[in-house]
Amino acid sequence: MPHLDPSLDQLKRYAPTVVEPDDFDRFWRDTLAAAADRPVLVEVRPEPTDLRLVDSWDVTFAGFDGDPVRAWYTRPAGVPTPLPTVVEYAGYGRGRGLPHERLTWPVAGYAHLLMDNRGQAGQYAAGDTPDRQGAPGGPWPATWGILDPRDYHYRRLITDAVRAVDAARALPGVDASRIAVVGNSQGGGLALAVAGLAGDLAALVTTAPFLCDVQRAIGLTDAAPYGEIARYLAVHREAEEAARRTLSYVDGVSFARRATAPAHFGIGLRDTVCPPSTGFAAYNQYGCATGRPLPPEREMHVYPFNGHEGGEAVHVRRQLRWLGTVLGRD
C-alpha cells in the first residue's frame, strides 16, 4: 500500500496543535467520578479452560453508569504471589473472545485482565457486554451518540477502560503498583486514554493507536473506523460541527499530553487504517503537559513496509523485552 503521510524525518517532528475543549479536564474528571461512586467488582468466577499452565476467571465489573462489563482474568497457575499485571484492550469490532485466545502475557509471567468491548462483539471476535446506552448517531460504534460528547460511545468505552484498571487492582494476586495498559488499534487508543486519565500506571504499550489527531484522520483515510465517521457525515451534512466537537473530547493526543507512565509505541508506515502521522502526533507530544522538565521515558518502533499489522510477532517480542525491563517479573 502507498504511504499516506510525509517522510519519517517529517513524522518525527510532527506535533500538531489539537484543539481541546475548555472543559476537557472537567468533563473527564466528572465522568470518572460518577463511575467511581460504585464498587468496581461485581462478580469473579473461576473459568474452566482445560489449560494446565494458567488459571482463568470470568470477571464482571461496573463500568460507565454502573453497566456490567465482562473481562477475562488469567494468570500463571500455581503462583501465589502478587504479580505485575497487564490490562489489555481489544481492537475495533472485537469482544473478549475465549480465555485461551490471548495467552502471551500470562505465559510471560504476568497476571492479565482482558476487557470486553461493550456493544462491539461479533465482527471479529465474540463478546458478552452489550452497550445499553442508546443515542442518535450512525449504525457503527464509531458514530454511536456522536452528536453529543455526553452520549458518545467512546465516553462509555474509555470509562470502562479506566474502570478495568480499578478492577484489576481489586483482584487477588495483582501487584497494584505494577500495572501496565496494553492495546493495538482501538485497544491502543483506549490504553493511551487510560494513560492520560490514570496517573499511577507503571507502563503503557500501544500500537497503531486509534482516535489520535482525529480531525485530520477522518479526512485522510476512507478505511474503517475513521471512514465510518466520514460516511455518516456524507449523509448527515448538518452534523459535522457537532461531530467534530464530540471527537475533540476523545482525541488521543490530548490524553497523551497528560500521560506520565513510561511508554512503548509501534507504527507501520503503510498503515491506511490509523495513519502513521496520527500516532506520531501522540508520541511526539507524550507527557508534554505534565509540567515535568523532561517527558516520561518512551520509545517508538517503526515498520516502514508494514501497514496496520505493524511488526506482528517481531514487535511483540520487543514489547515483552521492554515491559520485562520496566515492570520486572517475579
- The catalytic position among 185, 213, 251, 254 is 185
Check residue 297 and report its DSSP letter.
P
Per the annotation, the verdict on 271 as an active-site residue is yes
> Could you tell me the three cell numbers for 28?
473527564
Per the annotation, the verdict on 277 as an active-site residue is no
Per the annotation, the verdict on 177 as an active-site residue is no
Q: Which residues are 279's β-sheet partners?
A: none
CA distances from 242 to 141, 151, 219 (A): 17, 12, 16
Q: Grid coordinates 452497550 are at which residue? A: 131
- The catalytic position among 112, 153, 308, 315 is 308
Q: What is the DSSP string of 228-282?
A: HHHHHHHH-GGGHHHHHHHHTTS-HHHHHHH--S-EEEEEETT-SSS-HHHHHHH
- The catalytic position among 112, 116, 271, 277 is 271
What dihedral angle (degrees, nearest 10) is formed by the CA atoms of 145, 149, 154, 156? -90
The answer for residues whose C-beta is within 8 angstroms of residue 255's C-beta and 6 or more apart is 192, 193, 195, 196, 197, 282
Catalytic residues: 185, 271, 308
